[in-house]
């Protein structure tokens, strides 16, 4: 059974009342993956803006089972935060595949592009120390409204994405594959986010589609991205 863990920041954990792209990806895998899989991770909460903490379990989808809500994502967390904890999470939950969306918060508050890329390498090394055969799909940083309004920040995002591509190419290895996904197709801040950063329903689909497409094309896992009827 493939054991999959979502790793991410606020775009991945989601807020109280969200569906999340994790839910969209779970639905897609249920519909298209030919073998058994399990979503794993040490957390399952959503971020609650009223409490200012990840304490909500108020998912918008009644059909999203507790066992599929697991993740390693945090509001305001990035590579800087995840590199020190990924080893234990991979080891404890016996992870086979990581689906990772990180980096925006790092570049915005903690580290420059070069330092963030070094944290990517630390993260990969720690994950492999915990499980030598772990594989990962990494999503480039999706430019947000700040990148649209601040050319210097946009340049930092672009620089990091180039360094991320280089790191994935250099660190990819037989038996522990690293795969760089493409930016979500046709991403539009005004149509796919609710605040210039965080995905709305359509944005959730497009992030999930980016991961699903990469896995299908490179690993023949699942099929083309499928949306559940009415969602």
We report the CATH number of the domain holding residue 175 as 3.40.50.1110
Contact 43, 132 (CB under 8 A): no
225 part of a folded domain: no
46 part of a folded domain: yes
Domains contained in the chain, number: 1
Which token pair is 91?
Answer: 């080891």
| Residue 68 pLDDT greater than 80, yes or no | yes
Nearest Cα to Cα of residue 141 among 173, 187, 178: 187
38 part of a folded domain: yes
185 part of a folded domain: yes
113 part of a folded domain: yes
Half-sphere exposure of 174 toward its Cβ, with a 13 Å CA cutoff?
Answer: 0
Categorize the per-residue pLDDT at 231 as very low, low, confident or very high, splitting at 50, 70 and 90: low
Categorize the per-residue pLDDT at 188 as very low, low, confident or very high, splitting at 50, 70 and 90: very high
1 part of a folded domain: no
The DSSP-derived string for 161-203 is HHHHHHHHHHH-BTTB-EEEPPPPTT--HHHHBSSSSSB-HHH
- Tell how far CA 165 is from the center of its chain: 16
- What is the value of pTM for the model shown? 0.97
pLDDT digits (tens, 9 = 90+) for 71-88: 999 999 999 999 999 999
Contact 40, 102 (CB under 8 A): no
Domain with 125 in it: 6-219
227 part of a folded domain: no
Main-chain phi, psi angles of 195, to 5 degrees: -150, 15
230 part of a folded domain: no
């Amino acid at each position: 059974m493939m054991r999959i863990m979502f790793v991410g920041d606020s775009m991945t954990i989601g807020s109280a009342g969200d569906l999340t792209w994790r839910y969209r990806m779970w639905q897609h895998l249920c519909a298209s993956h030919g073998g058994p899989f399990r979503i794993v991770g040490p957390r399952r909460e959503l971020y609650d803006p009223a409490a200012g903490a990840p304490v909500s379990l108020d998912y918008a989808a009644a059909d999203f089972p507790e066992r599929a809500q697991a993740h390693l994502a945090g509001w305001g967390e990035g590579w800087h935060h995840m590199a020190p904890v990924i080893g234990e999470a991979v080891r404890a939950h016996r992870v086979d595949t990581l689906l990772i969306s990180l980096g925006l918060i790092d570049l915005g508050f903690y580290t420059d592009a070069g330092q963030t890329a070094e944290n990517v390498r630390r993260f990969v090394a720690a994950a492999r120390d915990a499980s030598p055969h772990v594989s990962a799909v990494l999503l480039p940083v999706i430019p947000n409204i700040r990148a649209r309004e601040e050319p210097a920040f946009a340049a930092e995002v672009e620089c990091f994405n180039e360094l991320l591509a280089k790191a994935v190419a250099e660190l990819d290895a037989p038996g522990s594959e690293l795969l760089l996904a493409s930016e979500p197709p046709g991403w539009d801040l005004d149509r796919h986010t609710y605040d210039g950063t965080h995905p709305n329903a359509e944005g959730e689909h497009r992030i999930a589609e980016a991961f699903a497409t990469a896995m299908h094309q490179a690993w023949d896992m699942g099929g083309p991205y499928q949306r559940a009827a009415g969602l």
